[in-house]
Amino acid sequence: MIVLGIESSCDETAAAIVEDGRILHSNIVATSMDLHAAYGGVVPEIAARSHIEAIMPVVNQALTEAKMTWDAIDAIAVTYGAGLGGSLLVGVLSARTLAITKNKPLYAINHVEGHVYANFITKTALPGYVLPTKQPVFPILALIVSGGHSQLALFRNHFDYTLLGQTQDDAIGEAFDKVAKIIGLPYPGGPSVSKKALEGDAHAYAFPKAKLAGKYDFSFSGLKTAVLRTAQAAVGADFTLPSHELPARLSEAQKADIAASFEHLAIETVVDKTMLAFEEFEPKSVVIAGGVAASSELRQQLSERLPIPVAYTDFKLCTDNGAMIATLGCFKAMHGQFTADPYTLDIAPNLSM
Ligand code: KG4
Ligand code: ZN
């Protein structure tokens, strides 16, 4: 079963080819991130326009990299939600058109479920990938942490999962992005906060950990505000100081200490919940997914606290990509799941798990 996966839910235009939900044949990602950097976040209209320009070159490159023609492709899988409406439309309409013109079955994929399936890729002839040697085993506890999502889910089997908890406000990646802005680090905030944190003291500032009614729910908006107030106090100002004046007034050491203290606490928050769920559900595997899964701090805290080893996938498969979409598409096809109608498949920007 060879599936071409298409992903365009945010600012990455991506296509990839995966065989049997295991073997990665190609993985092409074009990002419009540079175009958004000046604005400190993704501008939906710019993202949608970039997808239109990139989508067909990216799909063709995925075929070329895999040394395949359309004849080799058994099915197409595409992200139909959640995500930005204009961005999703480009991927879905392209996939629908290709499914009709190339006469291939079409599978509609939930982006967040897709992130989890990046962990099923264990083989590739492509250079530069560090992959787990074994696929995860059910029941799987999945921590999904990205710029748009913070979720904890228990997968009993393929297509049989329970959402244990999720963020009640901001996603953890979004908090990284906002903290980066407060202390004047470049977008995207995750990698730049992580890098700055290496020079700082994780215990310099005591930020509050949110207490929520839901045992497995998260909240990051209070933490984000605490970082802002701490930064204002650190320069001797009160809450009336506009945040855009902070980067120039904070010293490099203060920025590093704020980055380290924030990163440590934000990651500890999601690791605490993962540990609680691990104890309650006794999963055979634990996987992490989404852009924040690239965080070395997350990987370190998890491996220190979990009694079983966590197999991490390659950084390139943590952030948005087509390979995760193709992989879930393979499993849908191999398990006889419903195909989507290429004439009517609609986007679902607010799709939940
Ligand atoms: O999964 P993704 O590419 O897009 C969404 O579906 O949201 O995740 C992007 C998010 C951004 O918020 C980025 O700041 C964060 O992942 N991120 C990180 C790291 N690398 C990317 N966060 C923390 N540490 C990192 N090393
Ligand atoms: Zn994502």
The string of pLDDT tens digits covering residues 39-54 is 777 888 888 899 999 9
Indicate the SS3 state at residue 80: strand
Asked if pLDDT for residue 337 goes beyond 80, the answer is yes
- Whether residue 348 is contained in a domain is answered as no
287 and 207 part of one domain: yes
171 and 278 part of one domain: yes
300 and 174 part of one domain: yes
- pLDDT value at residue 173: 94
Mean pLDDT of the chain: 95
29 and 97 part of one domain: yes
Indicate the SS3 state at residue 48: helix
- pLDDT value at residue 47: 87
- Whether residue 146 is contained in a domain is answered as no
167 and 301 part of one domain: yes
Indicate the SS3 state at residue 12: strand
- Whether residue 237 is contained in a domain is answered as yes
- pLDDT value at residue 261: 98
Residue 107: domain span: 2-136+313-334
Do the Cβ atoms of 18 and 24 come closer than 8 Å? yes
323 and 203 part of one domain: no
Asked if pLDDT for residue 262 goes beyond 90, the answer is yes
- Which strands form 23-31's sheet, in the order they lie side by side? 106-110, 75-81, 2-7, 12-19, 23-31, 123-124
- Whether residue 150 is contained in a domain is answered as no
Give all strands (DSSP E) within 117-274, no chain letters: 123-124, 140-145, 150-157, 160-166
Q: Tokens for 342?
A: 């290429």
Residue ID of nearest Cα to ligand 1 atom 14: 190
Measure CA 333 to chain center.
23
- Whether residue 53 is contained in a domain is answered as yes
Residue ID of nearest Cα to ligand 1 atom 13: 190
Q: Tokens for 48?
A: 């949608």
291 and 320 part of one domain: no
pLDDT tens, residue by residue, 266-301:
999 999 999 999 999 999 999 999 989 989 999 999
- Whether residue 104 is contained in a domain is answered as yes
Indicate the SS3 state at residue 14: strand
What is the mean predicted confidence (pLDDT) over 102-119?
Answer: 97
- Single out the residue of 6, 63, 64, 3 nearest to residue 30, CA to CA: 6
- Whether residue 344 is contained in a domain is answered as no
CA 146 to ligand 2 centroid distance, Å: 6
207 and 179 part of one domain: yes
Q: Answer whether 11 contacts ligand 1 (Cβ < 6 A).
A: no
- Whether residue 31 is contained in a domain is answered as yes
187 and 66 part of one domain: no
How many domains, in total, are found in the chain?
2
- pLDDT value at residue 46: 85
12 and 93 part of one domain: yes
- pLDDT value at residue 212: 85
Q: Tokens for 297?
A: 């701090």
293 and 169 part of one domain: yes
205 and 319 part of one domain: no
Contacts 24+ apart (CB under 8 A), 125-131: 125/25, 126/24, 126/25, 126/26, 126/27, 126/65, 128/316, 129/24, 129/314, 129/316, 129/317, 130/314, 131/24, 131/313, 131/314
Q: What is the CATH number of the domain that holds 231?
A: 3.30.420.40
| pTM to 2 decimal places | 0.93
What is the mean predicted confidence (pLDDT) over 114-127?
Answer: 97
Which residues have a beta carbon within 5 Å of ligand 2, which is an ion?
146, 320
